[in-house]
Chains A and B, each alone.
Chain A
Amino acid sequence: MSDPTAPSPSASAETTTAVAATSAVAAAAAPAVAPPKVVVPPKPTPAKPADKGPSRRFFLLSWFGSWFAVAWVAFSASMLAMVLGTVRFLFPNVLSEPPTSFRAGEATGYEENKVDDKFKEQGAWVIRAKDERNRDIIYALSTICTHLGCTPNWLESEKKFKCPCHGSGFKISGINFEGPAPRPLERYAIKKNDDGTLVIDKSRKFQKELGQWDDADSYILV
């Protein structure tokens, strides 16, 4: 770790060589390197033996500098492209995951305030209950706890979903009321087919805290 109070060598040495380009470099470097409070005393330019050097050195510097710059930029860019390409490679383009929508029986087959685990395997609880505006609705709650993605259990005696991982509790509406879960369970899109069966589409989610539970696709009226 360099001592921050020491005057920056580049700031004093390079500015004295008094070439436009190098001083521009030094000026760019100086504010970054030199600490704000340290005052570098203006040194008298020492008479250097190689006084005819600067222009020649500048020429070499710029010549090498430019080619090195091109080479390094090209090298870095191709390395970066390789890394990004590798990262992109790790994201699969085709997933062999099960279909995201399923049928959940007839809408008339649901009793109010009753939770059963019939579709828990598919990742949803289909529930008929009263919502905040006292409408009788059917909705599909995701079985993924909003804390860390465990699957909560429905405790019939206490009328709540309780997550075994960290103890988050949700009411039958899916709204969190205890434990570390930061937000309510999500709803999946639900619709009624012409033949009266319910279809749950897990690819579309509705989050209460974003006001999406007002969306007509997030529930069906009974």
Chain B
Amino acid sequence: MAIGDWIRNSQVWKSIFRHPAPRDRRNRIVVMLTNVFLHLHPVSVRKSGIALSYTWCMGGITFFLFLVETVTGVLLMFYYRPTLEHAYNDILSLRDVATLGILRELHRWGAHAMVISIWLHMYRVFLTGSYKPPREFNWGVGVILLVLTLLLSFTGYLLPWDQLAIWAITVGSNMARATPFMGYEGPGAKFLAIGGVELVHSGSDARFLLLGGRFVGETALLRFYVLHCVALPLAVALLIAVHFWRVRKDGGISGAL
């Protein structure tokens, strides 16, 4: 115990933890107020609000899986190059050569689980009527987070550059070709012409913007990679902050009002 006391009384320890361990009521309150991560939560919560049968814990699990995806994703990025030459082989070597060859599995199954858990979270929030005033806005933020999660999964699907990936993305991105007025096979696009020159053609429509080319090729791989690794996670992180903030500001974990 002497070593333990010595550590706890050292200047370093005291500079990190400004108060004693949360063993009594006062310090259990203080710990929630002084820690930047813990203060996502209020100091106290309604007892019924944290029952597992009530919340299903699905929102928390979704957030946890987002963290898992971030960590495993960063690790995978060290070995993956988004080019036609390397992409597939890098995935192969992640499976066969890399130590701890389950990182890709963790990432993929975590992503699948995140899609399920975010659906179930929305399902629960609907069934308890927790989108009702004053939480209307936060429900909307949640819907956008749901869409972003699906987009993250969709963009990640292309990266292994195997048959499964390229054809799923071909089918998916071809829908953009049919966007009204913005896709060259969408309704109305034919009418957007100046003097017989079509403005919306296969080299200028929504799908071209998405893929950076006329078909799913190297530019598409790069775009999806950047979206998957940088743009979308940043947007999700930002909206998660808003989402959590508003959970607290709109009355905490939902409960009977």
Contacts and interface: CB of A to CB of B under 8 A. Distances in A.
Contacts of B215: 97
B250 interface: no
Given A95-B214, A97-B214, A150-B167, A90 B174 contact: no
- Chain A contact-residue range equals 10 to 19
B212 A90 contact: yes
B209 A95 contact: no
Contact of A149 (B170, B204, B217, B218): B170
B213 interface: yes
A149 B172 CA distance: 10
A149 B208 contact: no
Given A91-B204, A91-B208, A92-B219, A149 B174 contact: yes
Given A90-B212, A150-B171, A97 B204 contact: no
B241 interface: no
Interface string A72-98: 000000000000000100111001110
Size bracket of the B interface: 10 to 19
Interface in B148-186: 167, 170-171, 174-175, 177
B174 A96 contact: no
Contacts of B204: 91
A92 B212 contact: yes
A90 B218 contact: no
A165 interface: yes
A148 interface: yes
Contacts of A96: 218-219
Contacts of B218: 96
The interface centre, meaning the residue of B174, B212, B213, B219 with most chain A CB atoms within 10 A of its CB, is: B174
Interface in B26-63: none
Nearest to B217: A97
Contact of A92 (B167, B177, B213): B213
A54 B175 CA distance: 58
Contacts of B170: 148-150
A95 B203 CA distance: 10
Interface string A165-179: 100000000000000
Contact of A95 (B171, B175, B213): B213
Given A92-B219, A97-B217, A87 B174 contact: no
A72 B160 CA distance: 47
A96 B217 CA distance: 10
A49 B146 CA distance: 56
A149 B209 contact: no
A202 to B, nearest CB: 10
A81 to B, nearest CB: 18
Contact of B171 (A87, A91, A149): A149
The winner among A87, A95, A96, A165 for most chain B CB atoms within 10 A is A95
A17 to B, nearest CB: 36
Contacts of A90: 209, 212
A204 to B, nearest CB: 12
Nearest to B215: A97
Contacts of A91: 204, 208-209
Interface string B204-234: 1000110011110111000000000000000
A91 B208 CA distance: 7
Contacts of B213: 92, 95, 97
Contacts of A97: 213-215, 217
Given A91-B209, A150-B171, 9 more contacts: A90-B212, A91-B208, A92-B219, A97-B217, A149-B170, A149-B174, A149-B177, A150-B167, A165-B171
5 contacts: A96-B219, A97-B214, A148-B174, A149-B171, A165-B171
Identify the 5 closest CB pairs spanning chains A and B, nearest first.
Answer: A149-B174, A148-B174, A148-B171, A92-B212, A90-B209
